Amino acid sequence: MKFTLSWLKRHLDTDATVAEIAEALTDLGLEVEGVEDRAAKLRDFTIGHVKSAEKHPDADRLRVCQVETDEGVKQIICGAPNARAGINVVVAKPGVYVPGIDTTIGVGKIRGIESFGMMASEREMELSEEHDGIIELPSGEVGQRFTDWLAEHDPAKVDPVIEIAITPNRPDALGVRGIARDLAARGLGTLKPLESPVIEGGFDCPVDVTIDDDTRDGCPVFALRMIRGATNGPSPDWLQDRLRAIGLRPISFLVDVTNWFTYDLNRPLHVFDADVVQGDLRVHRAAGGETITALDDKDYTLPEGAMVISDASGVESIAGIMGGAHSGVTAGTVNVLVESAYWNPVQIAMTGRALKINSDARYRFERGVDPAFTPEGLDHATAMILAHAGGEASAMVVAGAVPDTSRAYRLDTDRVESLVGMSIPAEEQRATLAALGFRLDGDMAHVPSWRPDVQGEADLVEEVARIASLTRLEGKPMARPAQVLRPVLTPMQQRERMARRTAAALGYDECVTYSFIDATSAALFGGGTDATRLENPISSDLSHMRPALLPGLLQAAARNQARGMGDLALFELGAAFHGGEPGEQHLLLTGLLTGHTGPRSVHGDRRPVDVFDARADAEAVLAAIGAPASAQVMRGVADWWHPGRSGKICLGPKKVLAVFGEIHPRILRAMGVKGPAVGFTIWPAEVPFAKSAGATRGALALSDLQMVERDFAFVVDAQVEAQAVVNAARGADKALIADVRVFDEFVGGTLGEGRKSLALSVRLQPTKATLTDAEIEAVAAKVVEKVTKATGGELRG
């Protein structure tokens, strides 16, 4: 939203400087994005006086002028038709930058005669589109800065332009008057009254308006008036200057009037050439497929349900967005229909997005204009047209009725301190709301129709605090209760924190990667389906939700390896996605090791990372987050792990807590990672929580009875897994057997082809009494029986 200082002063009586206004606007929530000092680019132009102007000897259209400047008389060659002796002109001396032609003036020769500068036109100085001749000033002193002369005689041309950012909840600030109202409430001036003109219609409007029943929710009210006998010429200079200052191109007076009220009072309007309109106007919904050539000279095919304005010949305007070229006003327009309507914000937004049209009208209607100002806005526009273009106005035709937006909320003056932390006197709060247009009735504040964002008592507090300035807030420490505070983290959040700390303590660096990856990488890890594809990805290589954390870590490893960092330990804790619906995600902790266990050293303790490093780290994290010690390692992992150097840690065949292993060489090649690379993935949510919800640890259980260890060697088939032998031995007596470990393996030799020997150490820990030899032998016999039955092995002789 742009406006000039003089434009603001049409509504605000103030002596504040531009800097003070900019600071106040930002503090009020209307953030100033920039202030353009238009006088700065014209600062080096000065006033000169043409003493003589002789015809150039070699060019009929050129004049050799002797111009008196502050540096003496300068010879300047000029081709303007009005260059003559006796006039005051604007001079650009050598070295001056001319913005309109993007040129720095120098000393040059034109047809053999030297020229020491330039006499400028308004277009060359970007003051207007006038370029038929050089500027002739009615007054001024030789050597005087042109900007000083403009500031005194035509300040609108060098007015500072202020640009502010408007948040979607402040549509009232899309008009200069709304901005002035905020500044007046802050105390930077007084809001000038807005006089409502009274238009006495001299005749009945020959064009009627109807609104279809199914369109009244989108257009509650539509006001129309005809002005006949108007003269549609150029706009007054002051209007052109202000529109041009904010980046709008003046077109004709009738069009400029609609642009003026769009920015001045946040009241978008539209004008039709009445002589082109056939019959009455009808506001209705498009059936779909109709076409219209809009004022931007583009053809649009209307979607079904879009609101349009039609006459007897067809669609003439895309309601609330852009008019049609067929009924648009031209320089020859004499009879004009002026429209002022209120359009539903949601439906305007839907049509604008479908047609991909961005216009000032759509921008305002989809945020919400003042519905109560609809008829009055038409009166303002009519008065301005009659004053500058003449003509006679008809009576106003109104279809529908202004919607009732009245609402009131209780003003609790004590809530400011409890909600915001500021102490503001009650009378100051009431005065603030009154200055913003709220009507106060006892302790009830009635919201003005131009503030659709105020929807509750808390919004009243926000308005008071905003005007008072949140810079008045003073930091105060929060009260500390005497008792021990209750924990604020959930059990899962505590588990996540412990998992992070454990992984970091193991030497891993935490990564935070995108939740999106490319389709190829996603497919390598079981994803890349349409269910997880993004409809509007920010780039082509971030097109799918990640099915796992491992691809992001591998990409990070590849980038680091490309920069010479080969030995890496990375981990990430975050969500992976197995579907596109809410809740179709799961929490993972994934670690990745690449390269070697340490730098090269003379001690020779460096080795490549292997699957046992990944298993050890996974078990350490699981132990830290409370996984039972009874978890077992089993086969059967996904195909992105090495099939013979990987495993999963389970509580039974279906309760998988983690997987670990080497990354498959095929995956490493596809991801551009140099091996060796091992990793692990943990599902923290799969780890059972302790039955006791208390924060204290359980009692330490120690036995003062002597433990007993017995060794066994079993001969089994070479294909039998060691874990199967260990599990069988542990199940022989769960009460007495505390631990079972494999300490030796012998393959082949005298055992025969396809056979191996596994040596186990079984630890017995009594809890009630010292074990007798008979009890020990009984347990040993059970161990042999269990292992023989489970594996088909036999005790080695």
Whether the model clears a pTM of 0.75, i.e. scores above it, the answer is no
Q: In this structure, what token pair is assigned to residue 577? A: 């996605």
Among residues 729, 706, 705, which one has the least CA distance to residue 716? 729
Distance CA 147, CA 144 (A): 9
Q: Which amino acid is at 468?
A: A
Q: How confident is the model at residue 152 (pLDDT cuts 50, 70, 90)?
A: confident
Question: Residue 594: pLDDT above 90?
Answer: yes
pLDDT at 644: 87
Residue 54: count of CB within 10 angstroms of its CB? 11
pLDDT at 153: 83
CATH architecture of 209-400: 3-Layer(bba) Sandwich (3.50)
Q: Which amino acid is at 500?
A: R
Residue 45: count of CB within 10 angstroms of its CB? 24
The predicted-structure confidence for 233-263, as pLDDT tens digits, reads as follows 999 988 998 998 898 999 999 999 999 999 9
Contact 768, 729 (CB under 8 A): no
- State how far the alpha carbon of 298 is from the alpha carbons of 271, 295, 301, 328, in Å: 19, 7, 10, 14
- Residue matched to tokens 């769009």: 262
Q: In this structure, what token pair is assigned to residue 573? A: 């804790």
Distance CA 361, CA 365 (A): 6
- Average pLDDT, integer, range 357-383: 95
Q: In this structure, what token pair is assigned to residue 475? A: 């930091």
Distance CA 286, CA 304 (A): 5
Q: In this structure, what token pair is assigned to residue 528? A: 């890349």
Question: Residue 97: pLDDT above 70?
Answer: yes
The predicted-structure confidence for 103-116, as pLDDT tens digits, reads as follows 999 998 888 899 99
The predicted-structure confidence for 290-330, as pLDDT tens digits, reads as follows 999 999 999 999 999 999 999 999 999 999 999 999 999 99
* Topology match between the domains 410-471 and 708-795: no
The predicted-structure confidence for 499-524, as pLDDT tens digits, reads as follows 999 999 999 999 999 999 999 999 99
Which segments within 260-346 are labelled E, that is strand? 270-273, 281-285, 291-293, 299-301, 307-311, 314-318, 322-323, 336-342
Among residues 722, 710, 724, 706, which one has the least CA distance to residue 781? 710
For residue 642, the surrounding DSSP H or E stretch is strand 641-650
Q: Which residues contact 251 (CB under 8 A, 6 or more apart)?
A: none
| CATH fourth-level superfamily of 708-795 | Ferrodoxin-fold anticodon-binding domain (3.30.70.380)
Q: In this structure, what token pair is assigned to residue 546? A: 């990640």
Among the four given CATH numbers 2.40.50.140, 3.90.1150.10, 3.30.70.580, 1.20.120.1460, the one describing domain 40-158: 2.40.50.140
CATH architecture of 410-471: 2-Layer Sandwich (3.30)
Distance CA 364, CA 749 (A): 90
Contact 311, 339 (CB under 8 A): no
pLDDT at 782: 94
Among residues 151, 45, 55, 131, which one has the least CA distance to residue 88? 45
DSSP string covering 410-441, please?
Answer: E--TTHHHHHT-----HHHHHHHHHHTTPEEE
Question: Residue 698: pLDDT above 80?
Answer: no
User: CA 534, 536, 539: angle at the middle one, nearest 5?
Assistant: 90
Distance CA 272, CA 309 (A): 11
Q: Is 672 left (phi over 0), alpha (psi -120 to 50) or beta?
A: left
Average of per-residue pLDDT values in the chain: 92
Q: In this structure, what token pair is assigned to residue 507? A: 């030497």
Beta strand pairing status for 209-211 and 281-285?
A: parallel
The predicted-structure confidence for 377-419, as pLDDT tens digits, reads as follows 999 999 999 999 999 999 999 999 999 999 999 999 988 888 8
**DSSP, res 685:** G
Q: Which of 131-135, 225-229, 413-417, 673-677 has the highest average model confidence (pLDDT)?
A: 225-229
Q: Which amino acid is at 744?
A: D
| CATH fourth-level superfamily of 491-686 | Bira Bifunctional Protein; Domain 2 (3.30.930.10)
Q: Which amino acid is at 494?
A: Q
- Average pLDDT, integer, range 623-629: 90
CATH 3.40.220.10 matches 2-38+159-191? no
Among residues 371, 317, 374, which one has the least CA distance to residue 344? 371
Contact 245, 128 (CB under 8 A): no
**% of the chain residues with pLDDT over 90:** 74
Distance CA 588, CA 616 (A): 18
- Average pLDDT, integer, range 587-604: 88
pLDDT at 727: 87
Question: Residue 659: pLDDT above 90?
Answer: yes
Q: How confident is the model at residue 609 (pLDDT cuts 50, 70, 90)?
A: very high
pLDDT at 694: 59
Distance CA 149, CA 136 (A): 13
For residue 75, the surrounding DSSP H or E stretch is strand 72-78
pLDDT at 374: 96
Q: Is 167 helix (H, G, I), strand (E, B) or coil?
A: coil
Q: Domain limits of the chain?
A: 2-38+159-191, 40-158, 209-400, 410-471, 491-686, 708-795
The predicted-structure confidence for 7-51, as pLDDT tens digits, reads as follows 999 999 999 999 999 999 999 999 999 998 878 888 889 999 999
Among residues 661, 556, 548, 685, which one has the least CA distance to residue 613? 661
Contact 439, 409 (CB under 8 A): no
Question: Residue 472: pLDDT above 70?
Answer: yes
Distance CA 377, CA 384 (A): 11
Question: Residue 483: pLDDT above 80?
Answer: no
Higher pLDDT, 457 or 797: 457
Q: Is 88 helix (H, G, I), strand (E, B) or coil?
A: strand
- Residue matched to tokens 């594809």: 533
pLDDT at 428: 94
